[in-house]
Structure 1
């Protein structure tokens, strides 16, 4: 569904040029959840924005459904880290979710059906007439997810969406993502700096290096599709893979470990 080939991105020119992304290559197959994890400041958001068509790469190629991405393509939706900045504070929950559907040419009944189904999927039935300021941070992020679902994207990109949320709510929203993926048979690319989160959610994990950022490896996750915050994280396979990812990020090959 999404193919990233030899992607590079450089900020600035000449002596002030900074190579942020270096020869990034991987793919996202239909129906899977791929997480991208790496050290802080490694350019995860830059990578996601180039894949979303929000900024052009300086080299390489990104293809969505076999076509090169030039601008934001139809069939792609994105959930941002800052839910406060991504919702319209003057619109109700229902109006925020309905907003991206305006240009799709849907009937009034289809629009209403999508909005209600998406709000139900994220557990916000009954909150249609509330405003963002009347909701907790976790509920606001649920609104942002519902808005993306209502659009019915072929692929959903999520940029560290739970980074600003408390640990308990974060776990609830991680489980929500897995429920949404199953319910809508959705393809998801999930960017995070949290190692546990990357392993818990994903079918495959793409591990990034320090800048200039490269793909260190891609790891298939040997866990059952049905996951639970307690039993999954007690699973020996989870513990093993989590340790493998942590070692790659903290002590890449060739880097000496302090005694």
Structure 2
């Protein structure tokens, strides 16, 4: 499962960074130093950070600079916090992430990756196996048709191959799922996801992410057509229905 054509070519020890959040509380356990990397091969219809999609742009950061910034935030991590790398798609820059995550592990700092699971080349495998404490895997849709509609790309089992690889490692994983009325919230889809993952030992929790339109203005600024403009946000009842449908299959279901 190699996607070498999808790797961003950067200098060694240089990461192309879109933005940094030094006190994140929604991207993994505890207080997190969150690095959003630039570039993603998917163009999800609901993406609330579409400005991270383009491979160009961003700001180059040497890993020593990032490590220095992280150390300044370390006192706030407490027992559960740490560093999360998100995007965009962080595994596009897996090669340069390896030395950063290695330094973080040597410093006793918890590491997490928020990924769509599309890339599993040897750089990604080394990063995952040796240095990534937690994977947060975005499950876009349970059907090939739904996946293509949401992302604009074929799935070709990439999400499920990635999840199986992580399961075999026996290392922790969270699932994340955006709940969109009429598109991803149907009971049969939720049950399908539950049945697929119910025997996984590594999944610690499923995070339901209710649909919102907070990023629409960014699509407008980029001159892109936001195709979900007629979609509505979830009702409280719909969110609760999803939680109750999924609870029998997972150790923990939370609304993020």
TM-score (norm 2): 0.33
| Greater gyration radius | 1
What TM-score do you get using the length of structure 1 for normalisation? Answer: 0.32
